Amino acid sequence: MSVETALKARGNNQCELCKSTTGLTVYDVPPHAEQREEDSVLVCEKCNLQLTKKEELDSKHWACLNESMWSEVLPVQVVTWRMLNRLRDESWAADAIDQMFFDEPTLAWAKATGDHENSSAVELHRDCNGNQLQDGDNVVLTKTLDVKGSNLNAKLGTVVKGIKLVADNFEQIEGKIEGQTIVILTKYLRKG
């Protein structure tokens, strides 16, 4: 039996956090990445995007944690505790954290990523106007740029199609100009 099938059975074909039935996928609870039932949670697309910090937190969506915190499933408890800590500035989340208790190994797992110490702020790739950028977007240069190590000069107004986000730097994207892949700072482009 696949992990996804086992998780669907465990969660009644619903997100184990918010009970949504659409866009379900397996979320491996870090630092585990083996896709095992005892280390994974079945989540909907919205929960997954916010868990993986690809979308800003919607505290109204996470009101579901008041229910999932009572789950008997350890990975669900761990994810719930981490998300409550990211939302700890909300009074309801702070109250819920105070009600949760873990044995030492489970608490160590919950704290393993250090995510509980982070704020709810999510760093996303944004253009000069604050619009969120995604892989595959088209952008327009807002400044003429000299490309280091090349005689290429990227002119103001140049359209860069099918960009790729730089995973470890939210201020950079990769794109092709005149067939050459270059790194461009997001502050010098706008979504096209």
Q: Rounded to an integer, what distance in angstroms lies between the CA atom of residue 144 and that of residue 16?
A: 49
Within the chain, all domains assigned CATH 2.30.30.40 are found at 139-191
Residue linked to tokens 């960009």: 163
Structure-token pair, residue 156:
């103001």
Angle at 17 between CA 168 and CA 33, to 5 degrees: 45
Q: To the nearest whole number, what is the mean pLDDT of the chain?
A: 90
Strands 139-141 and 40-43 come out as unpaired
Q: Which residues of the chain have pLDDT under 50?
A: none
Q: Which two tokens mark 10?
A: 């465990």
Residue in the structure block whose two tokens are 């074909």 = 13
Q: Which residues pair with 140 in a beta bridge?
A: 159, 190
What was the pLDDT predicted at 119? 61
Angle subtended at Cα 121 by Cα 117 and Cα 125, rounded to the nearest 5 degrees: 125
The whole-angstrom separation of Cα 189 and Cα 192 is 9
What's the pLDDT score for residue 168? 80
Tell me the pLDDT tens digit for each residue of 152-187: 888 899 999 999 988 888 899 999 988 888 899 999
DSSP 143: S
Provide the CATH topology of domain 139-191. SH3 type barrels. (2.30.30)
